[in-house]
Amino acid sequence: NGTAMGGGAGLIAVCDIVIAAENARLAFSEVKLGIAPAIISPYVVRKIGEAHARVLFVTGERFSATRGREIGLMHTVIPLSELDTAVEKTLSDLLSSGPQALRAGKALALNVGRMNQETARRYTTETIAALRVSAEGQEG
């Protein structure tokens, strides 16, 4: 909700889940201050891609939450009046899941796409096997 400029917009790129109000405005505005978004650039480029970063890093243009969603920076954009409810639902969803399963899901999302097929097959097989025999997996 509100405005996130420079490093504030960069912090969004390291978040696993981003829910934004429609009125949010963002910018990678460092160039307007005579500097560059250097520290945040690896995370932002990974999240939105090189093509979008090339434009936004050099123009410093402000953009809407809707555009942020279109380029992959945000996951959900909703009216401000629904923001608290959406955050509470997401938190409830997370809290109703097993901590080991959440960690494993995040690790899968971060790692599998960078693996060759054989390594990914082995990694995913080992992951599900370990989770199924864990106390958490047995309880679920």
What's the pLDDT tens digit per position in 25-51? 999 999 999 999 999 999 999 999 999
pTM recorded for the entire structure: 0.81
Contacts of 1 (CB under 8 A, 6+ apart): 20, 21, 23, 24, 80, 83
Q: Which two tokens stand for residue 82?
A: 């629904």
What's the pLDDT tens digit per position in 15-29? 999 999 999 999 999
**CA 87, CA 70: separation in Å to the nearest integer?**
20
What's the pLDDT tens digit per position in 77-121? 999 999 999 999 999 999 999 999 999 999 999 999 999 999 999
The arithmetic mean of pLDDT across residues 115-137, rounded, is: 92
